[in-house]
Chains A and B, each alone.
Chain A
């Protein structure tokens, strides 16, 4: 194989203001990490992924428009970015910029809406003349000829020279954008959503144009899009991104016929094709862990207040057949035909066994009851508090699972939702004992998940950040609304894409942070001392 035109090795990019858990600092938070791929000369590589997964950022970074903090970027074998230099790189840093200018002519980016990137006061001819002059392409040829040639190349007529950008259609504008990018005779074009919003005919013309340029000039293209059909029509290989990581990369036919990653599979399941099918929307796009809430029989612990009370209400709203609402004190439970109050302290083994015997029709167990001493590990009464946390959060949950696993099995498998916390995955100073009990809960969840698979029981972990309930009343905002936590949990269970559910930005951010760099998250959390 030829030498790659572009190669990235473990590229990492941080952007914006990093949240230091609750505060902010200037270091930025990781948007992309561990990005390694190659683009061959004359290759069209498509980049797909969910909104916010970092596609545009990656494109901009390669074009020299966003700073890169780690890794290596080689263009045509020349290390433009290397580990030794990355630490000091800033967008406005001139020494860094010079490294890029060597290749600026060779790498051009085209944006989704050329209207915003074309100067409205310049005619199209004037706009095209700028790069021609800047990159010294003109030599001795008169500018007009070069501009005519560019316009013809993208399938427009020379008359377009004298028009202003707002006077032409979207598809034509997009071609002007391409003509401008071609002016410097680049070897790599980064095209970000250049055909979205165009009708199929204009789209086909642009796709054909890119293929022609590839065939005649050996142009390479990094084609960013969310349209899988366009990827199939155009690209040689496809790179799938999710949460700033490469999930899958390979030849388009191969990836689309046999996707390896669950996210790619999900994307493909949802893409429509032009066949008449009035039932298509009903075809399930549900993931492998999906469970139905409607007509389920649920058992909720700690149902008298906080998140538990919200669970009870939401289950009824979603059509659960019956909800056993378990609480130590049942007096505060709402009255409803479908609610069965159960007096239960989950640390009382006898009571747990009795509850399982009473509720023999349960299909969904929600282990929500929890205790947080809100005291530091090293404080004097902490041993009792720490034991109590373990007793409720870990042993209580364990005895519930043991008692109800046979019930769920008898009812066809069903599911278990364990209300854990993002603190199951990261430790917060002054809450170490709670974190330990919640981490124990996560370990237990993972083991039980594997063990109960054979009987068809789905086991979910729900790991929110801080929630606005009695438990966190001294915790500073922002806090999640408990109803939003329950919604995220039940939506996640019904969609079934993943069995770990992270409600809210704080949990999502920490989860992404853990994927990028766990040690850094630990350091961030250690900075949180009230």
Chain B
């Protein structure tokens, strides 16, 4: 049994389909990448799993199972209670995700599993240190606006793992960071993830990062899954023309003249027709 099983999930907003027949599994200690252009439905999928869909979104078909437990059959209250202990989220924008009026330490202490009051601060500092925040003791006493973007992002990563979840969903956790910090943060995510055995769903449009840290990859477009395969296959032998086009559009620092070709419009049209006729 996989840790996370999304089974033929379809979602509509105001009657328009935003996810169609999406299935995906993530095992414990696995990093599964979800890639695609903006509007592909990546974030909607994440929200559905976290149980925070917008009000006007409606699940029309399918199931989401965490450790075999069918999440959609639970009452809202029950589901929230279960997921607050088992699922954590690392958002793209660290500033809006933190409460501006409370210290980093207080916000981290809140998500720790029950810890005696006396050990809480030490535990918070241990987590801040684990994400390589310099001056962890001081940062624990700081407010979010007093930290740089990279620092806030690390605090959020610490918060996500400190709650000892089973599954972490990370939405573009490193797009705002420069290369050195990005690599540190990715390494950290992977170390924490391997130490704790959590499954990680990594939502991104950066195929460079995917190629380095994911074990499996799901490529999405227009709310549908275009291709799903182990990471090495997606990167080295992509089957679908769309995946190849995404790779071709990816610039690289070690080669000139790459990353200037957008996805050909003809290919996008073809995908839309395919979706209309129910293929794929």
Beta-carbon contact of B213 and A230 below 8 Å: no
Residue A488 interfacial (CB < 8 Å): yes
Residues of B within 8 A of A276 (CB): 211, 231-232, 235-236
Minimum C-beta distance from A194 to chain B (A) = 13
Beta-carbon contact of B235 and A275 below 8 Å: yes
Which of B125, B176, B251 is most buried by chain A, counting CB atoms within 10 A of its CB? B251
Beta-carbon contact of B235 and A226 below 8 Å: no
Residue A78 interfacial (CB < 8 Å): no
Residues of A within 8 A of B134 (CB): 484, 487-488, 491, 503
Beta-carbon contact of B148 and A226 below 8 Å: no
Beta-carbon contact of A51 and B136 below 8 Å: no
- B137 partner, pick from A256, A281, A484, beta carbons under 8 A: A484
Beta-carbon contact of A256 and B254 below 8 Å: yes
Residues of B within 8 A of A230 (CB): 251, 259
Beta-carbon contact of B138 and A484 below 8 Å: yes
Residue A403 interfacial (CB < 8 Å): no
Beta-carbon contact of A487 and B253 below 8 Å: no
Beta-carbon contact of A199 and B212 below 8 Å: no
Residues of A within 8 A of B263 (CB): 201
A to B contact number (C-beta, < 8 Å): 175
Beta-carbon contact of B175 and A233 below 8 Å: no
Docked complex Cα distance between A49 and B246 (Å): 27
Chain A interface, >50% SS class: helix
Chain A, residue nearest B137 (CB): A481
Residue B178 interfacial (CB < 8 Å): yes
The verdict on A229 contacting B180 (CB below 8 Å), with A201-B263, A280-B212 known, is no
The verdict on A200 contacting B231 (CB below 8 Å), with A233-B258, A281-B212 known, is no
Minimum C-beta distance from A391 to chain B (A) = 32
Residue A483 interfacial (CB < 8 Å): yes
Residues of B within 8 A of A481 (CB): 135, 137-138
Residue B116 interfacial (CB < 8 Å): no
Residue A271 interfacial (CB < 8 Å): yes
Residue A208 interfacial (CB < 8 Å): yes
Residues of A within 8 A of B253 (CB): 228-229, 231-232, 256, 268, 271, 273
Docked complex Cα distance between A307 and B258 (Å): 51
Minimum C-beta distance from B73 to chain A (A) = 35
Of B3-11, B20-28, B53-61, B183-191, the stretch lying at the interface with chain A is: B183-191
Docked complex Cα distance between A51 and B258 (Å): 25
Residues of B within 8 A of A231 (CB): 253
Question: Hey, what's the 0/1 contact readout for B224-251 against A, CB within 8 Å counting as 1?
Answer: 0000000110011000000001110111
Question: Hey, what's the 0/1 contact readout for B17-39 against A, CB within 8 Å counting as 1?
Answer: 00000000000000000001111
Docked complex Cα distance between A200 and B190 (Å): 24
Beta-carbon contact of A272 and B208 below 8 Å: yes
Beta-carbon contact of A488 and B135 below 8 Å: yes
Residues of chain A from 270 to 287 with CB closer than 8 A to chain B in the complex: 270-278, 280-281, 285
Beta-carbon contact of B178 and A51 below 8 Å: yes
Beta-carbon contact of A200 and B246 below 8 Å: yes
Docked complex Cα distance between A198 and B255 (Å): 21
Docked complex Cα distance between A205 and B250 (Å): 12
Residue B154 interfacial (CB < 8 Å): no
Residue A267 interfacial (CB < 8 Å): yes
Residues of A within 8 A of B208 (CB): 229, 271-274
Docked complex Cα distance between A276 and B214 (Å): 9
- A196 partner, pick from B176, B186, B212, beta carbons under 8 A: B176
Docked complex Cα distance between A456 and B74 (Å): 63
- B180 partner, pick from A211, A270, A280, A487, beta carbons under 8 A: A270
Beta-carbon contact of A169 and B39 below 8 Å: yes
The verdict on A233 contacting B181 (CB below 8 Å), with A200-B246, A274-B211, A480-B138 known, is no
Residues of chain A from 466 to 524 with CB closer than 8 A to chain B in the complex: 480-481, 483-484, 487-488, 491, 503-504
Residues of chain A from 251 to 306 with CB closer than 8 A to chain B in the complex: 252-253, 256, 266-268, 270-278, 280-281, 285
Minimum C-beta distance from A259 to chain B (A) = 11
Minimum C-beta distance from B3 to chain A (A) = 20
Residue A171 interfacial (CB < 8 Å): yes
Residues of chain A from 209 to 259 with CB closer than 8 A to chain B in the complex: 211, 226-233, 252-253, 256
Beta-carbon contact of A503 and B135 below 8 Å: yes
Residue A203 interfacial (CB < 8 Å): yes
Residue B67 interfacial (CB < 8 Å): no
The verdict on A211 contacting B252 (CB below 8 Å), with A198-B38, A481-B135, A484-B135 known, is no
Residues of B within 8 A of A480 (CB): 135, 138
Residues of B within 8 A of A50 (CB): 178, 180-181
Docked complex Cα distance between A208 and B262 (Å): 9
Which of A171, A266, A487, A503 is most buried by chain B, counting CB atoms within 10 A of its CB? A487
Residues of B within 8 A of A233 (CB): 251, 256-260
The verdict on A232 contacting B231 (CB below 8 Å), with A270-B179, A480-B138 known, is no
Minimum C-beta distance from A210 to chain B (A) = 10
Docked complex Cα distance between A266 and B178 (Å): 11
Residue A204 interfacial (CB < 8 Å): yes
Residues of A within 8 A of B236 (CB): 276
Residue A431 interfacial (CB < 8 Å): no
Docked complex Cα distance between A204 and B132 (Å): 34
Residue A52 interfacial (CB < 8 Å): yes
Minimum C-beta distance from A57 to chain B (A) = 14
Beta-carbon contact of A200 and B260 below 8 Å: no
Docked complex Cα distance between A198 and B183 (Å): 20
Beta-carbon contact of B207 and A274 below 8 Å: yes
Beta-carbon contact of A281 and B213 below 8 Å: yes
Minimum C-beta distance from B177 to chain A (A) = 7
Residue B182 interfacial (CB < 8 Å): yes
Chain A, residue nearest B188 (CB): A281
Which of B213, B245, B250 is most buried by chain A, counting CB atoms within 10 A of its CB? B250
Which of A197, A274, A277, A504 is most buried by chain B, counting CB atoms within 10 A of its CB? A274
Residue B209 interfacial (CB < 8 Å): yes
Docked complex Cα distance between A33 and B191 (Å): 39
The verdict on A204 contacting B261 (CB below 8 Å), with A197-B172, A272-B209, A488-B135 known, is yes
Beta-carbon contact of A207 and B260 below 8 Å: yes
Minimum C-beta distance from A16 to chain B (A) = 14
The verdict on A267 contacting B205 (CB below 8 Å), with A203-B259, A232-B254, A274-B247 known, is no
- B262 partner, pick from A170, A201, A274, beta carbons under 8 A: A201
Beta-carbon contact of B252 and A273 below 8 Å: yes
Chain B, residue nearest A281 (CB): B187
Residues of A within 8 A of B250 (CB): 200, 229, 274
Beta-carbon contact of B260 and A204 below 8 Å: yes
Minimum C-beta distance from B203 to chain A (A) = 12
Name 6 A/B residue pairs within 8 A (Cβ), A-sorted: A51-B150, A200-B205, A204-B262, A273-B252, A281-B186, A484-B135
Residues of A within 8 A of B (CB): 48-52, 169-171, 196-205, 207-208, 211, 226-233, 252-253, 256, 266-268, 270-278, 280-281, 285, 480-481, 483-484, 487-488, 491, 503-504
Knowing that A200-B246, A207-B259, A277-B212 touch, tell me 16 more A-B residue pairs with CB under 8 angstroms: A51-B178, A197-B175, A199-B205, A201-B245, A204-B262, A228-B253, A229-B253, A256-B253, A268-B179, A271-B253, A273-B253, A274-B211, A274-B247, A480-B138, A487-B136, A488-B135
Report, nearest first, the 6 A-B pairs whose CB atoms are least far apart: A481-B137, A228-B253, A233-B251, A229-B251, A272-B208, A226-B178
